[in-house]
Amino acid sequence: MTTTRFSRRLRLLASAGVAAALLAAAAPAHASSADIDPSASVSLTIHKFEQPATGTLGTNDGTKIANPGGTPLADVEFTVQKVTDVDLTTDTGWATASTLTVADVYGSSATHTLGTGIVRTTDSAGEITLTSPTVGIGLYLVRETAPGTSSVVSPAVPFLVALPQPANGSWNYDVHVYPKNAVSRVTKTVDESKAHVIGDTLPWTITNDVSKAPAGTSISSYEISDTLESRLGYSSAVVSLVDGSSTSTLTATTDYSLTAPAVGSSGDVVVSFTAAGLAKLNGVASTAKVIVEIDTTVLSIGDGTISNTATAYINDPQHTHGASSTPTPSTWGALRVVKHVTGDSTKTLAGAVFDVYAVDPSTAGATAVVTGATTGANGSVQVAGLRTGDYWLVETTAPTGYQKLAQPVKITVAVGSTTSPNVADIADSPIPPFTLPLTGGSTGAAFTAAGGALVVLALGVVLVRRARRRA
């Protein structure tokens, strides 16, 4: 085989996607298929890295890159299959391989056969290494088949790689490949600052990278999904795009379609970008962010931990490589107030009325989050749901014959359920007999007048008795 013919085949392999940029631009005349040792051991190492924000990992020519400029991604699954009817120890095999595309060996239009899949996941260094006899001399299809726990949202494009590959006038039997990918860091936060009781608004914010890597690719589909659990009712959603210091609110139906449950119901909230929205995403920096703000209402507290997760699918309409946020909890608890006689918790008291405050009641503008909670015949009253934190109980009415609390009682609500509530024991003392009210009040005046009348009456009795004696 001449140098010209062999170099042309290598260029064809690269253009057909066989090892992409992993084949040399030219090879010496003696680097021909006749020089391949059919009994030689070969190895294939797949390196999975997060694409750097700028630049590349390095020259991807089939050799190991000394210092890749990216972060390794662990737990990414790849499937490697040999193209069994292509023999790279022959010129005929190389001639066949020079015209192949991925579609020729994989999918409904495939005309070549594949061997059994070799499935591996990347280690902590982002690597998978396959050696003989697991792999041998031949042509292989490499597919990224699962993201695992990594942040990959757009799988690497399937590619063909030849083992061995020409290098420096000889053959490289130790091949290294660096498939490109897009990654995403989905975060979800909750603003609990204004949510205190069941029925309050609980806003969630989903933030996701636009993630246009690898370079030269575009976003063809972009979706963010959030399944509201049964304890959350949907209220509304707003979508915006943040590019540096610029923030623009996107328009529903124009920039994205919104699928959501009825107001007050739980279910899937799905934001799927339209062609107009995708054009905007493709027109901003890869560091730009998509923000989805979802307002919900708290319907119940269950075990007290309401958790929610958002998932992003970029260039993944089949939902195989979604990146999910770390579950974000909102914590709640129930509160049972038990009213009893001071010094005897067994003597419970009905008819005590409480208001509950989320701030010290002496705070300017403080308003109760719960009003009129009244103890029943068993001396207790339960508030079904309060967000965890500090609260203040104010007794507005004491049971008949008992003194009302003079000061608010501060309590702390911890995570809990309605069946395992936080309990606040509140004691009231009986009103002592003959307790005179403070002077100066209308009631005090009444007692004074009554006392005066008794004195006059007593004086009258004495005078009558004296008059009778004289008679």
Tens-place pLDDT, residues 406-421: 999 999 999 999 999 9
Residues 409 and 281 in one domain: no
Residue 456 falls within a domain, yes or no? no
pLDDT at 6 over 70: no
Q: Tell me which of 124, 154, 182 is where a domain ends.
A: 182
Split at pLDDT 50, 70, 90, the class of 435 is low
Q: Give residue 454's pLDDT.
A: 46
- Residue 66 structural domain: 3-182
Split at pLDDT 50, 70, 90, the class of 58 is low
pLDDT at 212 over 90: no
Residue 280 falls within a domain, yes or no? yes
pTM of structure:
0.67
Distances (CA, A) of 118 to 35, 81, 87, 323, 379: 28, 6, 19, 24, 68
Per the DSSP assignment, residues forming a β-bridge with 63 are: none
Nearest residue to 229 via CA among 332, 156, 102: 332
Number of compact structural domains in the chain: 3
Residue 449 falls within a domain, yes or no? no
Computed on alpha carbons and rounded to an integer, the radius of gyration of the chain in Å comes to 39
Mean pLDDT of 275-291: 91
Nearest residue to 85 via CA among 117, 118, 112: 112
* pLDDT tens-digit series, residues 144-197: 888 777 766 667 778 899 999 887 778 899 999 988 766 677 899 999 998 999
Residues 153 and 191 in one domain: no
- Tally helices (H) and strands (E) across the chain: 5, 32
CB atoms under 10 Å from CB of 196, counted, come to 22
Residues 318 and 343 in one domain: no
Residues 149 and 237 in one domain: no
Residues 195 and 278 in one domain: yes
Residue 222 falls within a domain, yes or no? yes
Residue 63 falls within a domain, yes or no? yes
Residue 457 falls within a domain, yes or no? no
Q: Tell me which of 293, 326, 359 is where a domain ends.
A: 326
Q: Give residue 438's pLDDT.
A: 52
Q: Give residue 29's pLDDT.
A: 38
Q: Give residue 437's pLDDT.
A: 56
